[in-house]
A and B are shown apart, each in its own frame.
Chain A
Amino acid sequence: MPKALRQLLRAFAVLVVFCWSAGPILFVVSSSFKRQLDIFAYPPKVVFQPTFDHYVALWHQWDAFLPTLWNSVIASVGATVLAVGVSFLGGYVYSRYSGKLLAISAVYMIAIRLLPPIVVTLPLFPVVDYLGLSDTLTVLILLYASFWVSMCTMIIKTFIDEIPTELDEAAFVDGATHLQTITRVILPLSLQGMMAAAIFVFVYSWNEYLFALIFTTQNAKTAPLVISEVMDAIYGTDWGVLFAGVTIQLVPVVALVVLGQRLLVAGLTAGAVKG
């Protein structure tokens, strides 16, 4: 294939991928700056005078949004750190050890994730209440992390698999303890997998609705609950305000993705080390 044609095809593919992935999101973000009358205009207004009215309205009418956003940050960061932390330890074991029992426990770990969460909440609700954990961020962090440790463990395991065992053995020979080997040798080389896992847990916790609805009242209320109230069955959804809230919610995720990108690509060089 001539080089020019290949370049053209590549450029076309990039364009298609961009429109497919980012198109609906750009619709949401641009709508947050449009007058409500223009959001549903057809043909769509591509050039328009941006307005910040919806952001102002969000600030005034939904004063709970900001504090709940902060709760979301704590819950998401907490869940991510906890889930990735314990999954790293677990993933190390699943990578470096073998055996029938271990294999069964891996299947069990995935299998118990299969029950739909709404059913799981039935017995959880009275227990959480009994333990006095209702309306605390602790319960959200524990639940979010629990629901993701299965997958994080398995993801991180596949990345640790890529690290040659000779490296751990060399460290042992040098007199490193078990924990030292894990933190000094394995950890830096499995950052890629941990980053991928972290993105999943964070994004999930950041947008989670069901647990937040059931287990929080006021102090631990998270942003998705406020967002869902803007989508309202009585007055009708206030689209501009909804999209403004969603746009604000996008910011930390984008930041995490940019950071994640660095770590993932840093893995390119790490890959060379591994070989």
Chain B
Amino acid sequence: MKITRRSALALAGSAVGAAAATRAAAQDGKEVTLTILSHKVHEIVARGLAPGTTGGDIAGEWAKRNNVKLVWITADIDPMHDRLLRELTLRSTAIDLAFVINKYATPRMSRLLEPLAPWNQKEPIEDFKGIPPNLIASTTYNNSLFAIPFRHATTGLHYNQAIFKERGLSAPPGTPDEVIDYARKLTFTRADGTKVNGLTVPAGAGPFAVLSMLNMFGAELMDQKLNVKVNSPEMIKALRTVHELYKEGVLPSNYATLSIDEVITSVQTGQAAMVFDPFARYTIYNDPKKSKYAGQIKVIPIPADPASGRKIVAMTEIWSMVIPKNSTHKELAWSLIRDLSSPANTIRAALNGNGPIRPAAYNDPRLKEKLPYTQQEQIAISQATTIPSSYDASGQVNMIFMEESQAAVLGLKTPEEAVASMQKRIVPLVKR
């Protein structure tokens, strides 16, 4: 790895914190084990495990400097949070550092986590202000910072250029109406009987992808202050349009159960022309080993209704780092969090495939060169919102949204009935 001025500075900066941690480690003279609970993706980007990436082993270098042995426990999203919550209730847990996704970061969980503001005061994260305040706000509850953002996954609109050409379309859609219009034009059956769906979305996987799509019409579940906004003309219009698209066969017939995997496969096999999905999916959509259309799948930010005064809409999911209140190596954990959060290491992790939470990272020439989609992603993240989760019943609300929106899209209920019912059921849960 070439040592740039930036990373040299970062090294110097983290050395202060590292010194304190090393003292702790050196006291008993032997290697300390630090256990991290995360999704596999965090280990991959923090250690540079994906083939062809150039960010290097960030966490490994920190561990070496501090004479620490890192143990990663990795599992898929739901199981790893299940495990984390159980660990948090023990008298003392072996988990020293964990990565949590924002939809699980409820007040209930935050109470079991170490407040990080005092740590940040004692040994501040380098250029803490470089992390967007709205992200910090999403990891703060009752004025207490409980997590440091590490990774974002922001939705964009991916489209298959080859199919666009085939259907006589030369440019990506620029407005929501065009998205709908194009989706209809892109729906057809090939000579061999293969059906191509103009539009798809992993609607069975959870509310995030569906809300990203509905967001295009200006519809939202609730605003950032937890005012439930689901019973709106925008939501009714959005659900009605999606219902029509479903009925016409523009959306796949198995819409309601579409998993992320099924959507990926249908894009890779050319059976879906456009998809609402995180930007980072670009890599697998264009992987020549897996995709029939490698190099042909492009991605843009999701266009917004011009009348709304916005150009684009975007929704994002944030992964953040937390320290359990009942962990035993808080000092070391904080040292690693600081290290991973530094501006230089944010760029390195991005080069390893991470979605960098510091907007400044996108200006790095290496990143521009390496990952062509990041410029589009940068535009999207500047406008992105999260589904708020700063209330305990967030899980139930997601479930209600899935149930009612599916009923509206499949035609089991009218959109008006569905949104009225949602509003009625969700409001008391958020207030509670």
Contact = CB atoms under 8 A, between A and B. Distances in A.
Q: Do chains A and B touch in the complex (CB under 8 A)?
A: yes
Given A37-B290, A42-B194, A126-B90, A213 B260 contact: no
Contacts of A231: 76, 261
Contacts of B82: 213-214
B292 A234 contact: no
Contact of B289 (A37, A125, A232, A236): A37
B40 A218 contact: no
Contacts of A218: 71, 73
Given A37-B289, A125-B86, A237 B71 contact: no
Contacts of B264: 236
Given A36-B290, A37-B289, A236 B284 contact: yes
A169 interface: no
B83 A214 contact: yes
Interface in A205-249: 213-214, 217-218, 225, 228-229, 231-237
A225 B83 CA distance: 13
Contact of A232 (B40, B71, B94, B269): B40
Contacts of A229: 40, 74-76
Contact of B94 (A42, A125, A134, A233): A134
A161 interface: no
Contacts of A35: 289
B384 interface: no
B398 interface: no
B35 interface: yes
B205 interface: yes
Interface string A120-153: 0000011001000010000000000000000000
A234 B39 contact: yes
A231 B39 CA distance: 12
B19 interface: no
Contacts of B180: none
A229 B41 CA distance: 10
A72 B260 CA distance: 29
Contact of A217 (B40, B71, B269): B71
A217 B41 CA distance: 18
Contact of A228 (B79, B94, B292): B79
Contact of B265 (A40, A213, A225, A233): A40
B359 to A, nearest CB: 22
B40 A129 contact: no
Chain A interface: which size bin? 20 to 34
A266 B263 CA distance: 50
Interface residues of B, number: 33
Contacts of B289: 35-37
B416 to A, nearest CB: 33
Contacts of B74: 229
Given A40-B265, A231-B76, A214 B40 contact: no
B399 interface: no
Contacts of A125: 86
Contacts of B39: 234
Interface in B270-300: 281, 284, 289-292
Interface in A9-42: 35-37, 40-42
B371 interface: no
B420 interface: no
Given A37-B292, A40-B269, A218-B71, A233 B194 contact: no
Nearest to B33: A218
B29 to A, nearest CB: 23
Contacts of A129: 90
A146 to B, nearest CB: 20
B396 interface: no
Nearest to B151: A234
Contacts of A234: 39-41, 77, 153
A236 B71 contact: no
B189 interface: no
B89 A126 contact: yes
B292 A213 contact: no
Interface string B79-116: 10011001001100010000000000000000000000
A228 B269 contact: no
Residue from A42, A61, A236 having most chain B Cβ neighbours under 10 A: A236
A234 B77 CA distance: 9
A125 B82 CA distance: 12
A40 B82 CA distance: 33
A134 B290 CA distance: 39
A60 to B, nearest CB: 9
Given A37-B289, A236-B260, A214 B86 contact: yes
B76 A217 contact: no
Interface in B239-275: 260-261, 264-265, 268-269
A125 B89 CA distance: 10
B25 to A, nearest CB: 20
Contacts of B260: 233, 236
A165 to B, nearest CB: 50
A215 B77 CA distance: 17
B389 to A, nearest CB: 18
Given A233-B260, A237-B261, A228 B76 contact: yes
Contact of A235 (B41, B83, B86): B41
Contact of B83 (A36, A37, A213): A213
A63 to B, nearest CB: 10
Given A37-B289, A213-B82, 5 more contacts: A37-B290, A126-B89, A229-B76, A233-B260, A236-B284
11 contacts: A37-B268, A40-B265, A126-B90, A214-B83, A214-B86, A225-B75, A228-B76, A232-B41, A233-B205, A235-B284, A237-B261
Interface of A: 35-37, 40-42, 61, 125-126, 129, 134, 213-214, 217-218, 225, 228-229, 231-237
